[in-house]
Structure 1
Amino acid sequence: MLWIVLAIVLLLLAAVVWVGVRGLLAKQHLERSVSLVDTLKTEIVAGDSDAAKRTAQELEDNAGSARSLTGDPVWGAAQYTPFFGTNLRAVRQVAVVVDDVATGAVRPVAGVIGDLNTEGFAPKNGRVDLQPLVDAQPAVARATTTLTRADAAAAKIDTTATLSPVTAAVNRLRNALGSVSQQAATANKVVQLAPAMLGHDGDRNYVLLFQNNAELRAGGGIPGAVALLQAKDGAISLGDQAAGSSFGPYDQPVLPLSADTTSLYGNITGRYMQDVNLTPRFDVTGALAREMWKQKFGQQVDGVLAIDPVTLGYILRATGPVQLATGDTLTSDNAVKLLLSDVYAKYPDPTVQDAFFASAASAVFDKVSSGGFDAKKLIAALADGTADGRLRLWSADAAEQKQIAGTAVAGALPTTSKRTREFGVYLNDGTAAKMDYYLDKKVSVGSSVCRKDGRPTSVVEVTLKNTAPADAATSLPRYVTGGGAFGTEPGKIKTLVAVYAPANAIYLGASQDGKGAALQTTVDGEHPVAQLETLLAPGQSTTFRVAYLGDAKYASAGVQATSTPGVRSSKVEPLQFDCAKPVPVG
């Protein structure tokens, strides 16, 4: 019996040593894999395909070694021992996930990265070569599928009883995969959609809305100018142009509107091109703009794109200054001020203003289509515009629109997931003028579990301020102030503020400047909406708070808010509040 016990003890010691040594080696391979990922990112951004392939192979070798070291029978049996078993099982699962990502995502993408470098997308002879995107579609699709599965697998790793270093490693893996899988999904949609939408399989035509942020609409700004964007096998050009005011008014909405849209924004949403984006639903905006273009020009376009002067300013960082027919020079520094403020004093005629706005956009597009830009800076500019909510895209093709849905350019209502609950803050101008150039906006959002049933209370706070000069009524052009023609005293800013909550949330209450708020509570689809009207004199500000009760199963999710992009960009701030008085009323 003594010899049997001794043999068992020796076997156990050997197993411990075996697992310990292999665990240490696996740790080294996993740490090396992490450092190689950082190297790979640098090489991909630099477009160094040869180096990226070598790094990808080294990453795959290290990940494979970590998987092999944690996959033998001894390790497998040790996974079921008390205490240490949960740690060994977690390390094994991490190794499997990393190896799957290396072979199923990194390897295929590294193989095509040389054909997808940013400089390759600069137009040559006015045309972008779309074939590399087409060729990359299978590899990017495979990588996206792999990363989605890896993200799900990492989420299932049990860390309830693991040591802190193991828990930290798993959390790091989850955070990385959560971010990368979302980026890969977006990249996959771009690769799948871009060739067809840029005319690879046949010419495409789009309505382009130039949104003016000086007169806000929920979707951005009033469409002051409208143009036809033509795409022919990677060559992009602008065709017919018209002032937004030249469309309508139509006797009836050009397409049927939902009762919710009519209740919140009126049937003018479907009767004036300048009001198609009163609703934050860009799929509705796109369909209405497309129909109005058809009724005016007899042409059925393939989709609708929206852009604003702030994004043009971003793009000018890549193109450099452009000269306008008027003699003005448009730069990244002066674009917003020139297009949204100075133009009204320089050209009092609204028709000339619209033409100036359209010509500026046309000049920038001409420079981009000719290839006169820094490719990396252009991609960064488009990314910034998209992140701000300033770029919107809708396709009339149902299959393409399904791919666009859920991306940052879709212009959809707030969504809810296990990670994030989104709110929406949408502003519509009520001044009927261009005073929103002087409107500052601050949005804050916070959430806390204030009830025994675990349901979270969320509060959205919106602060608006009129920063116009005290003598705005007389110092600013009549076209900017409205001159009182539409019922608002010159110099003041009237704004409709709509706060959208996640689907099926319950409205709890609201306040304005510490007092009860006179507002409209309604719904847009499944989204509860609280809307109120503000009127601010120069220098005056107001703060609007609204609280909603959410679903307990999303209590641990973070909260975020999307907002109508104004002249100046602002970040959503975190909000702390007292559970006893989430919307304090004095």
Structure 2
Amino acid sequence: MNSRKESGFTYIVRTAFCYALSILIAIAFITIVSMGLDTMQMAGKAKSLKADLGELTASINEKDFERADVATDKLDSTVDDIDELLAGKTWRTAAKMPVVGEYVGAVDSLVDIVKIATGRMIKPALTVIQDYPLDSIKVGDEGFNTYTMEAYIGLLEELNPAINDIIGYLDDINIPDSLGGKVTEYTDKMTLITDAYAVAEDYLPLLKAFLGGGSDRTYLLAAQNSTEIRAGGGFPGSIGTITIVDGVLTIGDFNSVYDVLPYGTPASVGPSELENTLFGNWMHYPRDASFNPDFERVAEIWAKAYGNKSNTTVDGVISLTPTIIQRLLSYMGEVQLSDGTVLNGENATQMLQHDLYYKYFNNASYTDGTNDVVDSLFAETAKTTMSRLVDDFDLNKIAGYLSVFNAGAEDRTIMMWMADETEQQYVRDVGCSGGLNDNPENPEIGVYISGSDPCKLGWYVNVNTQIGEAQVNEDGTRTYDVTVTVENTIDNNTIKTAGTYILGSYEGAWRGYIHLFAPAGGTISDVKADSNGGFRKSKYENLEVAYNLNVMIYPQKSMNITYKVTTAEGVTTVPKVSMTPTLQGYR
């Protein structure tokens, strides 16, 4: 008799427990797990709990936030009632019983979790959603509301520890085996949310700094041209602005670098004698500062030069190459330029870095006005793509936008600089500063090239780097054999149709500079090349560098360079390669 009653009681408890188990909310920033338990009198409370959860979810989905506030208060009241019942004599007695006690103890803890979820997640989220509706994130056709963006970043930072705490509490609760799978299912769903947050978490300090915290900001957006290849990315043919004024972020028009930067580099950021030696005096002209591979130095020059000419304080610089345009369009769809050219996620790089040049600059079509036409098309491309990003901005595509940023940071096709040193450290932390290697524990070999003859042969240049096996030295350092091959792939048939604007001064031969940097704390030695003479050695930014400023690679020819790199003592990590972004993957 007692056994049958115990079994029936356990069944009721188990059934009510499962009945009350549900996900509270599944919208952009709120995911909460709630569970409840009943027998007889508590069965009604369990049903009320589920109804309250349903009402709360429905009201949020319908954006009826006054109704959501009422539902939240009702949910709190129901949880308090369940708490009161659990504190009663019947349930305290049940908690001491074999088997049943496991369920009672688990539910008692789960009710506490509902309180945490309501107080630390639902209520803060409702406050933000009401004060900053998601549809207010866009302002008109070309702007973002930075206050709304900052509010949701703050909400994310507030919710994540609460979710982690709930996961921890669920892991610690002694869940009966028959219910463990269900709890694990919900715990796993919440873990997915925290994992997604973790991917973006490193970027939040930088994003908050970029948005300015209520202050007005001006940033430069430099469109670097990889066909005019430079160590720091490419020739910055067009430069636009991102401004934040009174909480509204807008992307301005792009203009020719010749119009927005002065002829000479301001004396306050002028090149040193060493930089003159290493980079051939090019840094005296701000538009050519990217002969230096250190983007932090390049951006500083651009910011000062632009600021002097426009009487503007520049807070930061972002560099983009055409490959980023293609990656963005793969998420946003195609854009059409004024001359009818259609760019999309499959063809943008080919069109911008090759086809447009042969459309306008081949031997048959070149005219005196061609330069202006093409320059305006490149500026139009940058502006149109950025405007499309604003117009079609979709929170559901955040992961895609983030993947574009990650890929760009990895291959130096996106680089960023902030004038404030604290904010610049955030840039370094996410790996998109474009600065030279400064951490011996994470060694990088720098392989950078620059075309010194005005041309568009960057489309045809390949750079491939191979690192051999480590040789462990007696002093604890490790030495690697490195081979760099630089190849000019243009063929004779192409040369016949290309004009001088594309080919440059040497009938398709590529002329330029090569800089090879040792990793931080390491050395570079035994540099040998099969053509173009020898390499000189120097030291720049505490890094050893080998360089050759007189490289000529003829069509269908290559230059092979071998050398040894030794990492700092005690470092066992194989060096990565940091290199000038090329177009060889898009031909």
Normalized against structure 2, the TM-score is what? Answer: 0.65
Matched, 1:401 2:424: yes
Superimposed CA distance per residue, residues 77-134 of structure 1 (whole angstroms, 9 cap, x where no aligned partner): xxxxxxxxxxxxxxxxxxxxxxxxxxxxxxx999999999xx9997475425311112
Partner residue, 1:135: 155
Partner residue, 2:485: 463
Q: Decide whether the 8 Å contact of 1:314 with 1:385 is kept in 2.
A: no
Matched, 1:320 2:320: no
Q: What is the identity, as a one-letter code, of the residue corresponding to 1:478?
A: T
The one of 384, 388, 391 equivalent to 2:411 is 388
Partner residue, 2:275: 261
Give the fraction of aligned pairs with identical amino acids, expressed as a percent: 22
Partner residue, 1:239: 252
Q: Decide whether the 8 Å contact of 1:428 with 1:497 is kept in 2.
A: yes
CA separation in 1, counterparts of 2:284 and 2:163?
42
Q: What is the identity, as a one-letter code, of the residue corresponding to 2:205?
A: Q
Gapped regions of structure 2 (runs ≥ 5): 1-24, 36-118, 165-193, 362-369
The one of 377, 393, 416 equivalent to 1:356 is 377
Matched, 1:510 2:527: yes
Partner residue, 2:10: none
CA separation in 1, counterparts of 2:438 and 2:311?
36
Partner residue, 1:558: 574
Compare 220-229 and 231-240 and name the one that shifted more: 231-240
Partner residue, 2:390: 369
Q: What is the identity, as a one-letter code, of the residue corresponding to 1:526?
A: N
Alpha-carbon offset, residue 361 of structure 1: 0.8
Larger Rg: 2
Q: What is the identity, as a one-letter code, of the residue corresponding to 2:490?
A: A
Compare 384-393 and 257-266 and name the one that shifted more: 257-266
Partner residue, 1:411: 434
CA separation in 1, counterparts of 2:224 and 2:314?
19
The one of 305, 315, 321 equivalent to 2:318 is 305
Q: Decide whether the 8 Å contact of 2:440 with 2:568 is kept in 1.
A: no
- Written as runs of structure 1 = structure 2, the 5 A alignment for 1:426-575 is 426-482=448-504, 484=505, 489-513=506-530, 518-532=534-548, 533-554=550-571, 556-569=572-585
Q: What is the identity, as a one-letter code, of the residue corresponding to 1:520?
A: R
Q: What is the identity, as a one-letter code, of the residue corresponding to 2:576?
A: Q
Secondary structure of the corresponding residue to residue 468 of structure 2: strand
Q: Decide whether the 8 Å contact of 1:510 with 1:517 is kept in 2.
A: no
Normalized against structure 1, the TM-score is what? Answer: 0.65
Q: Decide whether the 8 Å contact of 1:282 with 1:410 is kept in 2.
A: yes
Partner residue, 2:346: 333
Q: What is the identity, as a one-letter code, of the residue corresponding to 2:360?
A: Y
CA separation in 2, counterparts of 1:109 and 1:307?
40
Decide whether aligned partners of structure 1 residues 329 and 235 sit closer, same or farther in structure 2, where only a CA change above 3 A counts.
Answer: farther
Partner residue, 2:308: 295
Q: Decide whether the 8 Å contact of 2:332 with 2:389 is kept in 1.
A: yes
Partner residue, 2:220: 207
Decide whether aligned partners of structure 1 residues 499 and 225 sit closer, same or farther in structure 2, where only a CA change above 3 A counts.
Answer: same
Q: Decide whether the 8 Å contact of 1:254 with 1:288 is kept in 2.
A: no
- Written as runs of structure 1 = structure 2, the 5 A alignment for 1:136-155 is 136-137=156-157
Partner residue, 1:38: none
Decide whether aligned partners of structure 1 residues 372 and 400 sit closer, same or farther in structure 2, where only a CA change above 3 A counts.
Answer: closer
Alpha-carbon offset, residue 389 of structure 1: 1.3
Decide whether aligned partners of structure 1 residues 281 and 133 sit closer, same or farther in structure 2, where only a CA change above 3 A counts.
Answer: same
CA separation in 1, counterparts of 2:135 and 2:536?
52
Secondary structure of the corresponding residue to residue 236 of structure 2: strand
Alpha-carbon offset, residue 350 of structure 1: 2.0
Matched, 1:343 2:360: no
Alpha-carbon offset, residue 301 of structure 1: 1.7
- CA-based RMSD of the aligned residues comes to 3.7
Secondary structure of the corresponding residue to residue 252 of structure 2: strand
Q: Decide whether the 8 Å contact of 1:49 with 1:110 is kept in 2.
A: yes
CA separation in 1, counterparts of 2:401 and 2:256?
27
CA separation in 1, counterparts of 2:480 and 2:120?
41
